[in-house]
Amino acid sequence: MFRPRTFLTGLRGRTIAALLAAATVASLGVTGCASDDKPVGKTDAPLPTEIPAGTKLVLADQSERFKSVLQFSGELDKLPFKVEFANFVGGPAILEAFRAGAADVATVGDVPPIHAQVAGQDVPIIAAYQTNSTALKLAVAPGKTVATLADLKGKKIAYAEGTAQQAAVLRALAKAGLKPADVQLVRLQLAEFLDAVRTGQVDIAPLIEPNVTRLLRTPGASLIPDSETTGIYGGLAYLYARRSVVTDPAKAAATRALVAAYIRAYQWANTHQDEWARKYYVENQKVSADDAKRIVDSLGTYVFPHLDQQLVDRQQGTIDAIDKAGELPKKVRAADAFDLRFDAVVTQAVTESGAAFEPKAK
């Protein structure tokens, strides 16, 4: 068994970042020509189960969250292949990692796969989890009074294309009867959102934990009430991979094992909330114990959707919302963004771990 002990941190991580930056520059103007940019298509071939010695996956992480939940749950040491982690901020950076062949599998929100499709990248969704749909908040800068979505008119709003926060902003505007032209969308990197709103560079920023908690430490900062923002965020997160990974026999078998570990790890977080809060949010993310508990409580219990038509339809709804706002360069089909072969793996792992499936829509 190969123990996954190598992580991309420190100097090595910065070297990877530099390589990705170079790949980004090199790819400008040639979107659709990378090695994975081939027509999207489904394969009926069953997922292989044999993982040859020496097989390795590079996992794109955000805030070391995936690495942490796998490690603390004990699932990391059980993986029967080598694994490396590369840490990124947001889906656009992960997309460049995919384009450069520097990552195999990634955890993201529901919007990055859409922008991957638009960019001609074939990176199918292979698993998902659902958290509380009120976990994303619209943060208000100190000194600003924004109590309703209608108050967004004319405001400067932090905006990052290709992220779940993008869809949340567009849904908030639509819910208020506003258009993007009715506000000032300030294009920033996700890592810049927190500082931008708490220093007043923007009036509004869509934040998720632990940045919501960090924002509330700022005197005068506030949140638009949940009663106003209901429905702007789905609470859906995905695991997705490059098509060449799920069609390569060795890496596809490793990815199959990873999907099962992903579900077991987050089910461990469900049943060990105090330990998860302490080890990840307090020790890794450096928030207080009280704040860590509030964060974990706000996310609720992780449940797991089937990879089925209901999930495809939800994803299509997000595509349609972005497209309706005029923020999608071309229309894409959600049905092309999934590898439904992994549903059998999801079903088995949820059932055997005692986790819960996401309830079916009525």
Burial track 324-344 (b if 16+ CB lie within 10 A, e otherwise): ebebbeeebebeebbbbbbbe
Task: Tell how strand 82-88 and strand 204-207 pair up.
Answer: unpaired
For the cut 60, the answer to whether the pLDDT of residue 330 exceeds it is yes
Q: Which of 27-31, 117-121, 135-139 has the lowest mean pLDDT?
A: 27-31
pLDDT of residue 162: 84
Residue bearing the bigger pLDDT, 37 or 329: 329
Helices (H) and strands (E) counted in the chain, each on its own, are: 14, 10
pLDDT of amino acid 46: 87
Distance CA 124, CA 238 (A): 10
Predicted local confidence at residue 260, as pLDDT:
98
Beta strands 156-159 and 125-130 are unpaired
Note the pLDDT tens digit of each residue in 137-146: 999 999 999 9
Task: Give the whole-angstrom CA distance, residue 75 versus residue 258.
Answer: 9
Q: Which tokens is 250 given?
A: 């060795």
Assess contact for 65 and 272: CB atoms under 8 A. no
Instruction: Please tell me the predicted confidence (pLDDT) of residue 361.
Output: 72
Whether the per-residue pLDDT at 26 is higher than 50: the answer is no
Residue 8 in this model has a pLDDT that exceeds 90: no
pLDDT at 44: 67
What digits encode the pLDDT tens for the residues 231-245? 999 999 999 999 999
Among 25-34, 55-64, 178-187, the range scoring the smallest mean pLDDT is 25-34
What share of the chain in percent tops pLDDT 90?
Answer: 80
Q: Which band of pLDDT confidence, cut at 50, 70 and 90, is reported for residue 209?
A: confident
Distances in Å between the Cα of 37 and the Cα atoms of 34, 47, 120, 223 are 5, 22, 5, 41
Q: What integer pLDDT is reported at residue 43 of this predicted model?
A: 57
Give the count of beta carbons closer than 10 Å to the beta carbon of residue 32.
Answer: 10
Residue 41 has pLDDT above 80, yes or no: no
Q: Is the pLDDT of residue 2 over 90?
A: no
Mean pLDDT over 44-51 rounds to 89
pLDDT in tens, 272-324: 999 999 999 999 999 999 999 999 999 999 999 999 999 999 999 999 999 99
Give the mean pLDDT of the chain.
88
Peptide bond into 210 cis (omega under 30): yes
Residue range 108-132: mean pLDDT, rounded: 94
- Residue 360's pLDDT band (cuts 50, 70, 90): confident
**Res. 93 pLDDT band, cuts 50 70 90:** confident
Residue type, 271: T
pLDDT of residue 12: 36
